[in-house]
Amino acid sequence: MDAIALPEPREDIIARREEIVRKLKTLVAPDCVIDDETGRRAYETDALTAYKRLPLAVVLPSNTQEVSRVLAYCNENAIKVVARGAGTSLCGGALPQEDAIVLGVSKLNRVLHIDYQNRTARVEAGITNIAISNAVASAGFFYAPDPSSQIACTLAGNIAMNSGGAHCLKYGVTTNNVLGIKMVLMTGEVIEFGGEALDAPTYDLLALIVGSEGQFGIVTEATVRILPAAEAARPMLLGFETSKAAGACVAAIIGAGVIPVAIEFMDRPAIEVCDDFSKAGYPRDVEALLIVEVEGSESEIENLLTRIQQIASFFEPKVIRVSQSAEESAAIWKGRKAAFGAMGHISDYYCMDGVIPLRKLADVLVEISRICTEHSLPVANIFHAGDGNLHPLILYNANDAEEASRAEACGAEILKHCVKVGGCLTGEHGVGIEKRDLMGLQFTKIDLEQQMRIKSVFDPNWLLNPAKVFPLDGREMP
């Protein structure tokens, strides 16, 4: 799999760089255009840092009108545009090209209106995920999707990738929590889908946009659902002798009709690294750890925790520990939320994002271990177990080309196995560059052709987020 294959950049566009930069500085404030090499280097990659491309220029509009002017100009001059939120994409979704500009939405970060009666908030798309919850917390509300990068990631990126998070098991992913959007097409036309109502008549175009990876337009505003915070919440830790037992326990909990707010999985390598980094107090003598959180009134919490312990007992847990304080709960989640950063302190890693049916979880964990052993690469598993969204972290040396190639091949084999057992290529990270050339595993040629036709309706010249999502061979590009 050559995941980084990109079309050759257009030399005529690159040759016009100074002219293009001058024009961009008339469409937005001049200091909102970054054209020096050092400044552009900050935008040459995203969290999938193995791949880098220096963009033509970077533009940081301050409002929807400026986004419209920039896109209209780029469309008229056949200039490619890559939208960027905070650059936390783990699939190369914000990777630019040498003949493309990066359009960042970080300045579009205001809360525009909050309606507690209707339980909605209208915000600009460059706002961080956590900032939405912070804006409504004083009234006892929160925004449910919570990716691990929620302190940094933007709503725009969440919408592009249909992001989830630890609590999506109960509350759903981004598409379940966005009610309306304002989006700018490549022509500069501003359109709106949905609104403050829970549903709208005719075609559900809103669901088409969420998860479209910046291929159709650039979202500048969104109306999101805000929810009343639960009366209380409490996590518990379940430690097991094997990953297979932990996986089987997860399937049994969901199969019994118990839906916790979150079920998170860590294997021994992940436990040790996260505990060293965060001092969370995780048990160190188990092979696999589940963080299971429930919420509600105190009586509801006690009932749910008792039921979960009864179910877990069939799988002979070595550790059962229920949080006894707010401080202990915070420590448990601090360790999980810091997992990717903690792992980055000890090694480069390649983070996968496959999804599988829960009944296959135990067996797939065994297969992941076999695949990584076969490629002579260590792996740490940290993932949202409740909805079968796997995040194996394949550890490797990014400065060793041969080892990096093995890591990529190892990851591809894991994803192929996820599809083979009835799952899919991505749960929340998106396709981007990373999984683009694996799309044929999950979709037929006819499936992909239909998807590309929809892309062409919104972006006829294929200028938005180029070379992503669809395999380069057989594209319906001009």
Tell me the three-class secondary structure of 380-408, residue by residue.
Answer: EEEEEHHHCECCEEEEECCCCHHHHHHHH
Q: Write the CA distances from 154 to 52, 106, 127, integer angstroms.
A: 21, 8, 5
pLDDT digits (tens, 9 = 90+) for 14-68: 999 999 999 999 999 999 999 999 999 999 999 887 789 999 999 999 999 999 9
**Which residue, 294, 312, 340, sits at the end of a domain?**
340
Edge-to-edge strand ranges of the sheet holding 100-104: 33-34, 57-59, 100-104, 80-84
- Same domain membership, residue 240 and residue 170: no
- Same domain membership, residue 20 and residue 161: yes
Domain range for 449: 1-229+443-478
- Same domain membership, residue 158 and residue 10: yes
Q: What one-character-per-residue DSSP string does 327-356 give? A: HHHHHHHHHHHTHHHHHHTT-EEEE---B-
Q: Identify the pLDDT of residue 201.
A: 81
CA distance 6 to 98: 10
Q: Identify the pLDDT of residue 3.
A: 47
**Which residue, 275, 306, 340, sits at the end of a domain?**
340
Q: Is residue 437 part of a domain?
A: no
- Same domain membership, residue 153 and residue 60: yes
Please, what is the Cα angle at 318 between 312 and 321, to 5 degrees?
Answer: 75
Q: Is the entire prediction scored with pTM above 0.85?
A: yes
Q: Identify the pLDDT of residue 474.
A: 63
CB 364 within 8 A of CB 418: yes
Backbone angles phi, psi at 390, to 5 degrees: -85, 140
Q: Is residue 315 part of a domain?
A: yes
Q: Is residue 331 part of a domain?
A: yes
Return the axis-axis angle of helices 298-312 and 243-255, rounded to nearest 10°.
130
Q: Is residue 434 part of a domain?
A: no
Q: What one-character-per-residue DSSP string does 156-201 give? A: HHHHHHT--BTTHHHH--GGGTEEEEEEE-TTS-EEEEE-SSS--S
> Pick from 388, 353, 352, 354: which is nearest to 251 by CA?
388
Q: Is residue 433 part of a domain?
A: no
Q: In this structure, what CATH number is given to the domain that contains residue 412? A: 3.30.70
Backbone angles phi, psi at 283, to 5 degrees: -65, 135
Number of domains, the chain? 3
CA distance 183 to 372: 42
CB 416 within 8 A of CB 348: no
Q: Identify the pLDDT of residue 18.
A: 97
Mean pLDDT, contiguous 10-residue spans, the chain (478 residues): 70 96 98 97 88 95 98 98 95 94 98 97 98 98 93 96 90 96 98 87 91 97 97 96 92 92 93 92 95 95 96 96 93 87 88 90 90 96 88 92 93 96 94 94 94 96 95 67
